[in-house]
A and B are shown apart, each in its own frame.
Chain A
Amino acid sequence: MIPFFQWTGLSFEASWIVATVAEILLIALPVMLAVALVIYADRKIWAAMALRKGPNVVGPIGILQSFADGLKVFLQETIIPSAANKGLFLIAPIITFTVALMAWAVIPFNSGAVLADINVGLLYVLAISSLGVYGVVIAGWSSNSKYPFFSAMRASAQMISYEVSIGFILICVVLWAGSFNLNEIVKAQKDHVWIINGFVANPLLFPVWVMFLISGMAETARAPFDLTEAESELVAGYQTEYSSMAFALYWLGEYANVLLMCALNATLFWGGWLPPLDIPVLYLVPGLVWLLLKILFFFFIFSWVKATVPRYRYDQLMRLGWKIFLPLSLFFVFAISGYLMATGHFA
C-alpha cells in the first residue's frame, strides 16, 4: 500500500505511516465487526443445542443483538470500587483488548496479504498470547476483592501451564515447515499428503493438532476450561467488579482471542488461505474466503464444545496440562524431529 500513498505525493516516511495505519484499521475494524457477529453466532448455536431460540428480537432473526448490547453497555455508568487501585483497574481491560488485536498483525489472509511479514511470526504470536494473562491478573489484583483475586490466581497458573505444551506443539509445526514465518508455514502445507493441503492429514501431526485445539480452549479460557469465570464458584471471576465499557472490552477481547485461536488452527494445521484440496478449480475462490470458512468452522467447534462439555475441575485441568499434554507434546517433538532426520528432511 506504500507505493499508492507515495503516488499521491507523500514522502516515503509519511506514506509508510499512513499505509501502516490504514492496514491496521483494515484488519482491526473487520475483526471487531466479526467479534460482534460471532458473539451472536455463539449464542445462537448454544441456544440451538439446548433447543431454545436464542436472541431473535433485535433486527431480523436477532442479528443486531450484539450491537444493541454494545449500545446498552456504552450508555451505562462506569463504576470504580472505592477500594480498587484506580489506575490499574482501568488499564487492565485495555491491555486485554489491545493484546487480543495485536496478534492479528502476523496472520496471513492471502499469499503475501499480511500486515507484518516478520521472520519470527510464530514466536510473535506466542509472545503476544503470553501477554494476555496480564489483563486478567491485573484486573484481579486491582479490584481488591476476593473472587477476582482467586480468578487471577487461577488464570495465571492455567495460562502458563498450557503455554508450555503449546510451545512444544508449535515447535512440531516449525520443524516440519522449516520456518517461523506464518506465510511460509502455509506454503509448506501445499500438497502435504497426496493432494490435501494441510498438516492435519499427516498421521504424525494429527494428534498434535488435537492437542493444540484443546490447549487453545484452555489458553483462551473457553468452556470447558473457563475456570477463571466459573460462576458457581467465583461470581464472574476477574470481571466481577467491572461494569460498562470496561466490562465490554473484556467481552470483545475474549472473543477476539477465540477468533485468533481459530485462525491459528486454520493457518498452522489446515492450510490457512490454501483451499483444502490442491485442485486448480478451487484456487478460483480467493484465499481470504477459504481462511474465513476455516475460521468459522473452528469457531463452530468451539461453540459446540461450550454447549456440550461440562466444566473441568481445577486439579483435573492442571493434570491434563502437566501430566498428559506436556509429556505427549514432548514425545511428538522427539518423534517428528527423529522422523525428519531419518528421512533427510533437514539435508
Chain B
Amino acid sequence: MIQAFAFYLFTAIMLFSAVSVIFARNPVHSVLWLILAFFNAAGLMVLIGAEFIAMLLVIVYVGAVAVLFLFVVMMLDIDFSEMRAGFIKNAPLGLLIAAVLLAELGLGLGVWHSGALQLGVASGAAATPEGLSNTAAIGALLYTRYLFLFEAAGIILLVAMIGAIVLTHRQRSDTRGQNVGRQIARRPEEATINVKPAVGQGVTL
C-alpha cells in the first residue's frame, strides 16, 4: 500500500516537473524543475530496490551536473524574445529528435519484453542475486563480465577530460602567479636585514 502510494506520488511529480522543464518561461526555473525530476527518478530507483543507482543519480546528476548547469544558466543574459523567434525554425528538427527518441524507447521496451537481453526478467523483478546488496552485485558484474567495456569507458572519459583541459587552458604572460612553495621556503633572515642606526642618522635604502 505504502509502496504503491510512493510510486504514484514520485511518478506524478516526475512527469509534472518534466513537462514544466519544457514549459517554464525562465531557463533557471527549467533547470530547477529538471533537478526535481532527477530527484523523483532517484525515488523510483529506491522503490525497485536499486538504492545504489538512486544515490549515484542524486550525487552525480543533482549534486554535480545540475549545479554546473545552473551555474552556467544563471550567468547567461538571456533575451526571451530572441529565444521565441527561433522556435518555428527549429521545431521540425526538435520533433524529429523526439520521434527518434520515442522509437528507440519503444524498441528497447520490445526487446526487453521478448527476453532477448539478459537484463532482468520481463515481470520487472530485480535481477539482484539473493543475499547480495546491489552495490556488491553491480561491482561483481562491472569488474568481471564487463571489465573491458568499463575500463574502456573510463579511458574515454579520461581522454575527454584531458582534452577539455588542454583546449581551454591558456598560458597568460601578463599575470604573476603565486608560488606558494617559494613563499613558505622564504625565511626572515633572507628577506630582512637588521640595521641599528645611531640616533638622528637614519638609514640609506
Contacts and interface: CB of A to CB of B under 8 A. Distances in A.
Interface of A: 13, 16, 88, 118-120, 123-124, 126-127, 130-131, 133-134, 137-138, 141, 149, 152-153, 156-157, 159-160, 163, 167, 180, 315-316, 319
Nearest to A324: B180
A123 B56 contact: yes
A13 B1 contact: yes
Contact of B64 (A134, A138, A160, A316): A160
B52 A120 contact: yes
Given A127-B63, A160-B64, A160-B68, A119 B58 contact: no
Q: Is the interface of B mostly helix, strand, loop or mixed?
A: helix
Given A13-B2, A160-B68, A118 B62 contact: no
B178 interface: yes
Contact of A124 (B55, B71, B135): B55
Nearest to B67: A156
Contacts of A319: 180
Given A16-B2, A141-B28, A315-B178, A119 B67 contact: no
A123 B2 CA distance: 24
Contacts of B133: 119
Interface of B: 1-2, 28, 32, 35, 51-52, 55-56, 58-59, 62-64, 67-68, 70-71, 74-75, 133-135, 178, 180
The main secondary structure of chain A at its interface with chain B is helix
A316 B180 CA distance: 9
Given A127-B55, A131-B63, A149-B74, 20 more contacts: A16-B2, A120-B51, A120-B135, A126-B55, A126-B59, A130-B67, A131-B58, A133-B63, A133-B67, A134-B35, A137-B70, A137-B71, A137-B74, A138-B32, A141-B28, A141-B74, A160-B64, A163-B64, A180-B135, A316-B180
